[in-house]
Amino acid sequence: MFKGIYLQEKPHAWRGRKKIRLAASAAAILLAASSSAFSQGVSQRPIGGEEAPLTAATAPTTPLSLARAIELALAGNPEVAAATRQLEATEGQVLQGRARPNPELAYSLEDARSKTRTQSWQLNLPVELGGKRAARTKAAEKSREQAQAQLTELKATVRANVAAAYFDVLTAQERLVLARDSVALAKSSTDTVAKRVAAGKVSPVEESKARVAEAGVRVELAQAASEERNALSRLFALLGKIDVPFTVLEGKAGNLPPVPNLADLQPLISSSPAVVLARIEVDRRKALTDLEQSKRVPDVTVSVGMQRSNETQRNVLLFGVSVPLPVFDRNQGNLLEALKLEDKARDELQGATVRLHSEVAQARERLATIAAEIQSLQQDVLPGAKSAYDAATIGFENGKFNFLEVLDAQRTYFTAKSQYLKALGEAHRAAADVDRLLGGPHDSRLTAPQN
């Protein structure tokens, strides 16, 4: 009976072991396939190359516009935050300037013996004369206006720096694209020369020259990639960020800002941050002069109190007035210093106005010169260099030119293209200087017509 039960259950046990073997075989096949795919993925990934896969930190995000970059910089720049705290601190000066002097409580004791002891309690109230409180409050308010003007000037500088760094990134990206195109063309030329050498049409020296030229172009590609990374780092440092995320920027470096007329810029100088700051400094020095002038008028101290005599057992009301006599100290030294500093502030205002006229004119002239250079490069130099390079390439393929002529034409074309990109960067920096000096906005730079 026991044997029969064993024989009856044996097929089921065998079928169970068979299922386990099949499952183990399938798992082994899947494991081998996944490990093979993983090894292929690892072997195909370039180490430190340009085509590295995007991770979560480097995945493309929403394109960063110039207006958004300026907004982030004004919100996260440490210098702007410090200037804002300085402005908030001047509120304390205004509050302190409006405060009145504190009264004084005095107590005196005459004679230590209890029978003949006399005690006095007295309240002294200083009364400011000559408009000291109003002059002090006005000087504090001018200090607050000065801090506000300094913050405005700093924001204009940050906006200009962000705009210049923003277009430096765009220019660096254009230069990187140019370097990649140059590498592709150099590789194509090398392949063409290698085929002609294999066919016996040219000397192997031509192939060596082509490979040397390709190696030089690859070095320029590495430099362009490094320059782009540095430009991104500078931009995000202005935004108050340490890490440099992979961010796509809106716009193109070729969208040049318009060249304004000098006659339209001259009236804006009077409202520029530097001139406004210098003008507020003159007003602040004038308020400090008025404050020192008010200090020449002596203050009066009114005293009210009571005196108690133990000998007579009577309370006596006390009333008094004290006035300092301005015999020796009439605040003449502080007043003289305030007057001279006021004259100095006026001289600095005049100097700032003249200097700003010159700097605005120079920045505008630089922008106009670069715009004319860019126009000449776009209309004459680049098309001619490109046409010469194309003709030399076709002639080399047909055996009419040697490789040195092709290499020279290629170098001329890419040199002109690099000069064009450099001029674009200089144009945007000149426009940023104009905006920084005048405190103007930068939001319309991306939509400006190309000159």
Spatial contact of 170 and 247, defined as CB atoms under 8 Å apart: no
237 assigned to some structural domain: yes
- Residue identified by tokens 């292929």 is 40
The pLDDT, as a whole number, for residue 446 is 38
Q: Confirm whether 17 is domain-assigned.
A: no
Amino acid at 187: K
Q: Is residue 77 part of a domain?
A: no
Across residues 200-205, what is the average pLDDT?
75
| Span 43-95, pLDDT tens digits | 333 333 334 333 334 444 577 888 888 888 888 888 899 999 999 999 999 99
344 assigned to some structural domain: no
pLDDT reading at 420 higher than 70: yes
In a domain, residue 10? The reply is no
Predicted local distance difference test score (pLDDT) of residue 207: 77
**For residue 5, is it within any domain?**
no
Residue 33 resides in a domain: no
Name the one residue in this structure whose structure tokens are 């000559």: 130
* Confidence at 10, pLDDT banded by 50, 70, 90: very low
Q: Is residue 228 part of a domain?
A: yes
Nearest CA to 152 among 451, 446, 440, 443? Answer: 440
Q: By the 8 A CB rule, do 175 and 225 touch?
A: no
pLDDT band with cut points at 50, 70 and 90 for residue 247: low
Question: Bridge-partner residues for 107, per DSSP?
Answer: 121
Domain that holds residue 241: 82-324+354-438
Mean pLDDT of the chain: 80
pLDDT tens digit sequence for 161-177? 998 999 999 988 888 88
Mean per-residue pLDDT for 416-440? 88
pLDDT digits (tens, 9 = 90+) for 137-166: 999 999 999 999 999 999 999 999 998 999
Give the amino acid at 54.
Answer: L
What's the pLDDT at 441? 59
Please calculate the CA angle 96-99-103 and round it to the nearest 5 degrees.
130
Pairing of strands 104-110, 300-309: unpaired
Q: For residues 342 and 26, which has the higher predicted lDDT (pLDDT)?
A: 342
Nearest CA to 274 out of 437, 405, 60 is that of 437
Of 108, 102, 133, nearest in space to 301 by CA: 102
Q: How many degrees, rounded to 5, is the angle at CA 351 between CA 273 and CA 333?
A: 100
Residue 240 maps to which CATH number? 1.20.1600.10
Domain count, the chain: 1
Token representation of residue 24? 């183990």
